[in-house]
């Protein structure tokens, strides 16, 4: 089951990992339209569990109104990225919580359905020092979700009760969860994007799970050092110059990038077996088996969908770069895709191209343009066949709020592996 499903990144990852979806919930209209366009069906008031092979039920609307008790004991994995808005630690012994914080609904879902495991993904900002007291409270709430908070109590008062419960160790095994926190950079897991996040994974206490198996299954698979070495050896450039359907990398681009690579010498030793970070150029070339995306001609920055271009691969005019609004470059992982204001995420959606401004060789004078929705979806590791609904701004917002599919898949597969191992020992 997934709450806060958004445009479907984490839901897709969980499904790919072998879990059968029983229910999705989402509030935003265009995100719901996206989920339905990709196979979900409106649930309505029907609290029936779908049979294998049936389309996934989607409960549109406010999660606070969603009843989930009918799924009790049926859910192996609860997933979601609860919106966690800022709050203030100001005042005397009181933290003012933002009413848009949806973690309490995640706690309620755990109480109502008692899943074997859960996955939460959120921004790395949860770990900043000013937020740490509340983050520690979130973790304790996830550990003891059945210790329900008095509506009149502050989070600090409730946290004191949870701390006492933790110290006494008297919670029933089936009413507590073992919780693990993973600060991650999505680029370390094959996502062509620098995206720092925190992933929280929990398992019900009555399951005999192997922590070492979990940690082994969630180790990074890619590294920056491996990317630098592949560039220095020439393998990276040879690979891109052999891609059918995309232009060869101009020599002036290779010289410029190699200047930066040489400046990074001596390289640190990359851990054995790690693959190179994937770059924006890799994503556009389809290094994961997808077809290469064609370049957007400069005379097509006109908001039009052309019949000879992939869907949502639409040129957009008036891209700008300036201090604090810096663009993506092709031969590094992309910057963090953000939802932005009205789906306009600033420099995170602008890219430098291989087209050099006449008479110069400096990176700041390569021509730039907005990334298309399809290019941005590639950076989020969404497959090209995934349909995104709504106007461009809403599509970009869905992508900026999503979990990269490959990152979600690593953790969903890890949970599946750990649960399977625990079941063998029952």
Q: Is 84 a catalytic residue?
A: yes
Burial 165-200 (b: 16+ CB within 10 A, else e): beeeeebeeeebbbbbbbebbbbbbbbbbbbebbbb
Q: Long-range pairs for 211-214 at CB < 8 Å and ≥24 separation? A: 211/178, 211/180, 213/417, 213/418, 213/421, 214/180, 214/414, 214/415, 214/418
Parallel/antiparallel/unpaired status of strands 2-3 and 77-80:
parallel
Distance of alpha carbon 405 from the chain centroid: 7
For the chain, the first-to-last Cα distance in angstroms comes to: 24
Task: Determine the Cα–Cα distance for residues 348 and 164; give it in Å rounded to an integer.
Answer: 45
Task: Determine the Cα–Cα distance for residues 387 and 312; give it in Å rounded to an integer.
Answer: 9
Residue 48, CA distances (Å) to 23, 53, 75, 139 in order: 10, 14, 14, 32
Task: Determine the Cα–Cα distance for residues 252 and 37; give it in Å rounded to an integer.
Answer: 43
Where is 165: in which H helix or E strand? helix 155-168
Q: What 8-state DSSP symbol labels residue 117?
A: E
Exactly one of 32, 84, 120, 389 is catalytic; name it.
Answer: 84
Of 143, 145, 153, the C-alpha closest to 93 is: 153
User: Where would I find the beta strands (DSSP E) of 243-329?
Assistant: 275-276
Residues recognised as catalytic = 84
């Amino acid at each position: 089951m997934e709450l806060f499903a958004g445009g479907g990144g984490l839901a897709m990852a969980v499904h790919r990992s072998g879990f059968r979806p029983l229910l999705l919930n989402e509030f935003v209209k265009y995100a719901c339209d996206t989920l339905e366009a990709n196979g979900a069906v409106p649930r309505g008031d029907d609290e029936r569990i779908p049979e294998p092979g049936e389309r996934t039920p989607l409960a549109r609307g406010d999660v606070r109104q969603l009843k989930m008790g009918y799924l009790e004991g049926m859910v192996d994995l609860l997933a979601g990225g609860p919106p966690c808005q800022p709050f203030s630690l100001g005042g005397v012994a009181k933290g003012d919580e933002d009413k848009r914080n949806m973690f309490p609904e995640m706690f309620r879902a755990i109480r109502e359905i008692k899943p074997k495991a859960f996955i939460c993904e959120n921004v790395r900002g949860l770990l900043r020092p000013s937020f740490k007291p509340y983050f520690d409270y979130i973790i304790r709430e996830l550990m003891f979700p059945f210790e329900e908070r008095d509506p009149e109590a502050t989070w600090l008062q409730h946290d004191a009760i949870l701390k006492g419960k933790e110290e006494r160790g008297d919670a029933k095994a089936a009413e507590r969860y073992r919780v693990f926190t993973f600060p991650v950079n999505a680029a370390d897991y094959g996502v062509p994007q620098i995206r720092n996040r925190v992933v929280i994974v929990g398992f019900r206490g009555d399951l005999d799970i192997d922590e070492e198996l979990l940690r082994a299954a969630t180790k990074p698979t890619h590294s920056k050092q491996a990317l630098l070495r592949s560039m220095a050896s020439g393998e990276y450039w040879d690979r891109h110059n052999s891609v059918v359907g995309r232009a060869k990398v101009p020599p002036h681009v290779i010289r410029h990038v190699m200047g930066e690579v040489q400046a990074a010498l001596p390289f640190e030793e990359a851990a054995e077996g790690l693959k190179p970070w994937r770059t924006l150029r890799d994503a556009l070339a389809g290094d994961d088996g997808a077809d290469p995306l064609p370049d957007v001609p400069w005379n097509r920055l006109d908001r039009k969908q052309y019949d000879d271009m992939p869907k949502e691969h639409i040129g957009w005019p008036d891209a700008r770069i300036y201090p604090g609004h810096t663009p993506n470059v092709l031969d590094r992982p992309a910057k963090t895709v953000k939802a932005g204001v009205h789906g306009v995420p600033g420099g995170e959606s602008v890219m430098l191209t291989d087209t050099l401004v006449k008479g110069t060789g400096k990176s700041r004078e390569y021509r730039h343009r907005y990334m298309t929705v399809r290019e941005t979806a590639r950076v989020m590791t969404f497959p090209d066949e995934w349909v995104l609904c709504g106007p461009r701004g809403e599509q970009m917002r869905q992508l900026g709020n999503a979990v990269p599919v490959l990152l979600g898949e690593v953790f969903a597969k890890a949970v599946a592996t750990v649960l399977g191992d625990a079941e063998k020992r029952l």
